Each structure stands twice: as structure tokens, then as C-alpha cells.
Amino acid sequence: MSFKRLETDDFVISNDSITSTLWSDNVPTLTTFFSNSIQENSSAGTYYLSVYNTSSTEQQVQFDIAYCDALGSGSALYNNAVPIYSPTRTLYGQYRTMILEDENLNFIFGSSAQTGIDACGTTITSSTAVISDNFWMISLERARYKQSIFPGSLNLTLSSSTPGVHGAQISLTDNSNDITTVPYIAGTRAYQIVSGSNGNGISNNGGYTTNSGSYGIMFPDLGLIMLNPIALSYSIGLSPSRSNDSDGHNNTRLFTAISQSSFGLNSEETISSDYVFVRARNSEFNYSENPSFISGSTGEVIYTNFINAPQTYITTVGMYNDMNELVAVAKMSRPLLKDFTKEALIRVKLDF
């Protein structure tokens, strides 16, 4: 017999979290940023700006930048006779519906429960949370972040030509390593973005602005990074244009701030693996139908000592269904000797 049935306890299911670099070519930190004039000047360009890793023909979108404004500021109106309705307002409503799940709520940067030290070393208290009616949204390409952003891996540096209170440059990260419970907004994880690195706000649990809340919110499961213009304007002088009925080029403003610096981020995904334990007992699988195992056409084994002490070499494990159909196969890295004195235990890993 060549088939052996598997028992129930031969199967084990395992879920493993796999983290990896997020950007193309496995680069952990993106340091070169390119936009595409064709995309920028297209109808989609009025909504978002795609950012690429290279200017070559092999360029791949890494993330998109969109400026969102509840008042419709920063972009031309759809129709001059209808005030407020513009791409920036559409985008604001889109994200509010998706994340807050309530059209009457607004995004709040920071938390009234947070206390810490800001980027200037000033102790800040619970009054720092701010409600904002505009924000920048960095939407990561789905293929890049796979299943979710890996919390604690955000290292985004922004630069500005007009320094604010904290100068012209600031390094931002999520605060996932500063908190003990995972925070949620509606049904999705939401970490505050603070001044710091590798998931730690400066001076532990700090990194907020003094009066402008956090620098943004990271939504790992949605692949979104929301930036707070009030905090960025206060801290490094990076402000959007909020003029009515005119293109403020706000996507390009943030693109310029990012492209002068660096953007580090990792992805995370859960891989479900099926482990199947294949057991070959000492008395099993000791003969082979390999033509070189047989001498002649009548089936005699090639060597006489193979009659009582056969030796075979396992190279391949085939997994079959009830209909004897080969559905999965695994190869050994080198032949595994099998005879009547040996038993083999092989763990076959099936990833889905």
C-alpha cells in the first residue's frame, strides 16, 4: 500500500504574525519620493496625490496624500453656484463616514486623559485635545501594508521652509509603546501620532503639542495616517491653504514636507498555517516503485540485501484527499533514509 490515512491529531492549525518592511524593494525607510505629473493633472489629482518610490518606468505607488476639509476649503468648488461642495469636503465626509461611523462627529486629535511632556519639554495636561475640521490623510497602498501597519514602526520626519515653535523639522511616531491598552475609534485601532520615534513619544507618554493635541492619528487596520494641520502649523510651520474656491495645492505641500526627509514604516499580517504531521512507522514505506529499485521486468529488487533489509530514501511528501487527488506536495532538502529500523516524523507546513 502506498497511501496512509492521517489521524485527527496529525493536524495542527497555527496563526503567526509576520512583520516586514512596507515599501517596495524591502526598503525599511523611504528616502526618495516622486510624484507623477500625469496623475497630478488628472481628475484624480484634484483629490489625491500619488507618491512613488522612483521616477523610473518601474515606479510603484507607495502612498497617496489627500487633504480633507469639512468646510470645503483648499480646493475649487464643483460648481460656483453651490458653495462649500468641493473635493476636500467630499474627502472629509468620506473618511468621517468610514472611521467615525457618524456624520455628526468630528475627529479629535489627542486625548483628554493624556499627560506628558511636549517637544519643547513643557509638561502638558488634559486640556490639549483639539477638534479639527481639516486634516491631511496619508493612505498607504494596500499591497504595501498587506494586512495592517505594524504599530511602533512609524518614523515619519517632516520638514518645513517656515519654522514653527519647534523649528523646521520634526520626527513623528505612533504612541503604541507608551500605552498599555489598545485604543479604538469606533471599531478600529487608532494610535495617536506624537513627537518621538519607534512607537515612543519623547519623554515617555509625551510628544504631544502644548495646545494643539497630537500630531495625528494612525489607523493600522485601515492603512491610514491622519495628520493634524493645527499641530503641524504650530510646531514646524506646515500649514494648509484654506482659501475658498481655489486650489491650495495642499497635497503638494505635505508631499514637499515629506520628500525632504524620510518615512519609515513596517507592515504586519497574520499567516494561518496548517501543520500536518506525517508519520512513517518502522514497518512502513520501506520498498519503492522507483524503476531503479527493481531489476528487470518481473519486479525483483535490485540488490539481494534489499529483500530483508531494504533501504529507501524519502524525497517527496504528497498530501491527498479522499479521492486520491494530489492537492499539496512538499520536498525534502535532502533524501531521508528509511528502513525497518527507522521511523520518520515529518512536519508539513501549508500556508494560506
Partner 1 sequence: MGYLNNQVITVDAILTKKGRELLAKNDGSFRITQFALADDEIDYTLYNPTHPSGSSFYGEAIENMPLLEAFPLEQQIMKYKLVTLPRGTAKLPVLDLGYSAITLNQGASISITPQTLNYLGNSQTFETSGYALTVSDIRLLNTFTGLGIDTTAATNANTEATTALNQTLGTNVSSTIIGTQFSLRGTTINTLFAPTNTSINGTLTFIGLDSGARLTIPLTINYTT
Could you tell me which stretch among 79-87, 198-206, 209-217, 333-341 binds partner 1 (CB under 8 A)? 333-341
Site for partner 1 contains 76 (CB under 8 A): no
Sequence-separated (6 or more) residues with CB below 8 Å from residue 116: 123, 124, 201, 203, 204, 205, 206, 207, 208
Among 16, 101, 300, 343, binds partner 1 (CB under 8 A): 300
Judged by CB under 8 A, which stretch of 96-104, 126-134, 137-145, 276-284 contacts partner 1? 276-284
What's the CA gap between 110 and 128, in Å, rounded? 7
In order of 179, 183, 219, the CA distances from 113 in angstroms are 12, 12, 19
Q: Are strands 200-201 and 191-197 parallel, antiparallel or unpaired?
A: antiparallel
Q: Give Cα separations from 167 to 171, 207, 234 (angstroms).
A: 11, 15, 10
Distance, in Å, from the CA atom of 297 to the CA atom of 310, rounded to the nearest integer, reads 19
| Residue 3 touches partner 1, criterion: CB under 8 A | yes
Closer CB to partner 1, 40 or 284, in the complex: 284
Q: Among the candidate windows 119-127, 161-169, 256-264, 337-345, which touches partner 1 by CB under 8 A?
A: 337-345
Tell the smallest beta-carbon distance from residue 150 to partner 1 (Å).
24
The answer to whether residue 8 forms part of the interface with partner 1 (CB under 8 A) is no
Are 31 and 259 spatial neighbours (Cβ–Cβ below 8 Å)?
Answer: no
Considering only the stretches 58-66, 140-148, 211-219, 323-331, report the one whose residues sit in contact with partner 1 under the rule CB under 8 A.
Answer: 323-331
Closest-CA residue to 230 (of 108, 95, 91): 108
Extract the C-alpha cell encoding 313. 530514501
Q: Which stretch binds partner 1 (CB under 8 A): 56-64, 85-93, 182-190, 291-299?
A: 291-299
d(CA 25, CA 59): 11
Binding mask 155-174 for partner 1 (x = CB under 8 A): --------------------
Residue in 25, 245, 285, 342 binding partner 1, rule: CB under 8 A? 285
Contacts with partner 1: how many residues (CB under 8 A)?
71
Q: Which stretch binds partner 1 (CB under 8 A): 64-72, 221-229, 240-248, 338-346?
A: 338-346
Inter-residue contact 201 to 216 (CB < 8 Å): no
* DSSP letter, residue 230: H
Our finding on whether 315 is near partner 1 (CB under 8 A) is yes
Strand 216-219 versus strand 191-197 pairing type: antiparallel
Instruction: Compute the distance between CA of residue 138 and CA of residue 121 in angstroms, rounded to an integer.
Output: 28
Classify 147 in phi/psi space as left (phi over 0), alpha (psi -120 to 50) or beta. Answer: alpha
Q: Which H or E run includes 237? A: none
Shortest spacing between CB 21 and partner 1, in angstroms: 22
What is the closest distance, in whole angstroms, from the C-beta atom of residue 87 to partner 1 in the complex?
40
CB of 291 vs partner 1, minimal distance in Å: 7
Stretch that binds partner 1, among 152-160, 200-208, 251-259, 289-297 (CB under 8 A): 289-297
CA 186 to chain CA centroid, nearest Å = 20
Q: Does 9 bind partner 1 (CB under 8 A)?
A: no
194 within 8 A of 176, measured Cβ to Cβ: no
Among 66, 230, 231, 317, binds partner 1 (CB under 8 A): 317
Q: Does 343 bind partner 1 (CB under 8 A)?
A: no
Specify the residue, 76 or 294, whose C-beta has the smaller distance to partner 1.
294
CB of 337 to partner 1, least distance (A): 6
DSSP 114: -
Which residues 187-216 are close enough to bind partner 1 by CB under 8 A?
none
- Compare residues 37 and 297 and give the one whose CB is closer to partner 1: 297
8 Å CB contact between 191 and 176: yes
346 in contact with partner 1 (CB under 8 A): yes
